[in-house]
Amino acid sequence: MNVFDFLAQAAAAAPTAPALHHHGRDTTYAEALALALRCAASLRAAGVAPGDRVGCLMHNHPEHWLAYQAIAAAGAILVSLNTRLAAAEQLMVLRHSGSVLLLHDADHQARAAELAPALPRGALAVASTLAATAPTPFAPTLAEAHTPAQLYYTSGTTGAPKGVVLTHDNVATHACTAVRELAITAADRWAHIAPMFHLADAWATFAVTHARGRHVFLPHFTAPGALDLLAAERVTITNLVPTMLNLMVAEPSARTRQYSLRVMLSGGAPIAPDVVRAILATFRCDYVQTYGMTETSPYLTLSLLKPELQRLPFEQQLLWKCKTGRAFDGVQLEVVDDAGRPVPPDGRTVGEIRVKGRTVTPGYWQNPEATAAAFDGEGFLRTGDLATIDAHGYVDIVDRKKDVIKTGGEAVYSVEVEHVLYSHPAVLECAVFGRPDPLWGERVVAAVVLRPGAAATAAELVAFVRERIAHYKAPKQVQFLPALPRTGSGKITKKALRELPHE
């Protein structure tokens, strides 16, 4: 299957159904198909050939959604650009991918002009392609299922960014599975709030289209703006990163709005149980934690409850809702020790998550060394995430393998410490990481952002942690910051925190 098939099929089956909604205006699926083909025709006229890479630099907007469709219709490969990167970083991605043209929105006109001289076909504004009139109907040139559909460049928190290849089969399989798993229907309204250049949101471009649901858009995230969109557009489902959700539920007016949500998804980072409680109280809907990677299209697990867990009292159900979740349908997931042996399903023994399945990338663009290093001898993708697994098959991530803090001969998992800090009433955001220490090997450090108007001292927070978990896990240093550094997808980046000046 080709990812463009979802739009073509939706337009054929439900031509008058609303596909896109923005600024009070609906675009039907038939109209969306015509616009996507018009954009594809413009790409072809600009010299884009099947198999070429086309950069995409846009905010969340119907134009971004149409670009995903049009690039596929032209038989090209979409190269998703993080809008928050510097020009030099974006240029590196365009050059490494061999992109021939940059498709951009009006907000990025100046940056596109800066990047265009380095590209064989220059830059093209999406608005101009949609306004163009094709002399004859455009016939899509659809790539084979096993060929690349999209390239996503990793954020670089673990080193030089790598271009993750996702094939049409990867993306289409994930979309079909997500519709089944999350019971997405034509009645659903999806809010594109997390950045569409990242798979935290981009997967829904195809899954919701497959279900013939409606897409609504928030070009720039603010907590009040996101809350307004959810209420005003009667959004039923969306996926946000925990940082966004934490800011949203902290808004004083968050619980006063009337929402239509049936489920709120979160992914991209672990989430504290207290934040989950606040989400349930604020939005009055179901909550599902998700976990995945760019390399897996993205979902690997969902914290949807199995039937035997749905019969438990609410407080016990919440324990599983706060876990990373059970395997996404079609994903073969194992938690293994250093020798590759599955760890006991006791909810305590820690191992690394490894996965197989049709949604897993075939590798990294023009990087056979990185591709070989990512897979083990049995063909499993090594995720680098450490977790436990219980008797029901639910995994719970405790840390990134590279982020485990070794202090005084003990291993400290940062997620455990972060969960305690998040339960302090003055803490809005936090991140725990290790720094070299001549005595302990590494010392536990916490970077903390306080809630507006709240106050707390470093000594108070350290004592708070020591009262709740083992003393050696408590931070030996607390840094107060106005905000935590993030990657383009909104994840907190501990690499940047380690590099901050400190005493």
Identical fold between 5-172 and 405-498: no
Structure-model confidence comparison of residues 399 and 288, the more confident one: 288
Is the pLDDT reported for residue 492 higher than 50?
yes
Q: Provide mean pLDDT across the span 437-460.
A: 93
Range 221-400 classified under CATH 3.90.1200.10: no
What is the layout of strands, in order, in the sheet containing 351-356?
332-336, 351-356, 381-389, 395-400
pTM score, whole prediction: 0.89
pLDDT digits (tens, 9 = 90+) for 415-434: 899 999 999 999 999 999 99
- To the nearest 10°, report the CA torsion of 19, 20, 24, 25: -70
Rounded to whole angstroms, the Cα distance separating 209 from 229 reads 20
- The CATH superfamily assigned to 405-498 is ANL, C-terminal domain (3.30.300.30)
Fold of 5-172: Rossmann fold (3.40.50)
pLDDT digits (tens, 9 = 90+) for 234-243: 999 999 988 7
pLDDT digits (tens, 9 = 90+) for 164-195: 999 999 999 999 999 999 999 999 999 999 99
DSSP reduced 3-state for 73: helix
Contacts of 307 (CB under 8 A, 6+ apart): none
Cβ–Cβ < 8 Å for 54, 77:
yes
Is the pLDDT reported for residue 332 higher than 90?
yes
CA 349 to chain centre: 27
Rounded to whole angstroms, the Cα distance separating 397 from 415 reads 8
pLDDT digits (tens, 9 = 90+) for 56-98: 999 999 999 999 999 999 999 999 999 988 898 899 999 999 9
Residue-range domain boundaries for the chain: 5-172, 221-400, 405-498
Rounded to whole angstroms, the Cα distance separating 72 from 318 reads 41
Confidence of residue 160 (pLDDT cuts 50, 70, 90): low
Q: What is the pLDDT of residue 168?
A: 98
* Omega cis (within 30) before 148: no
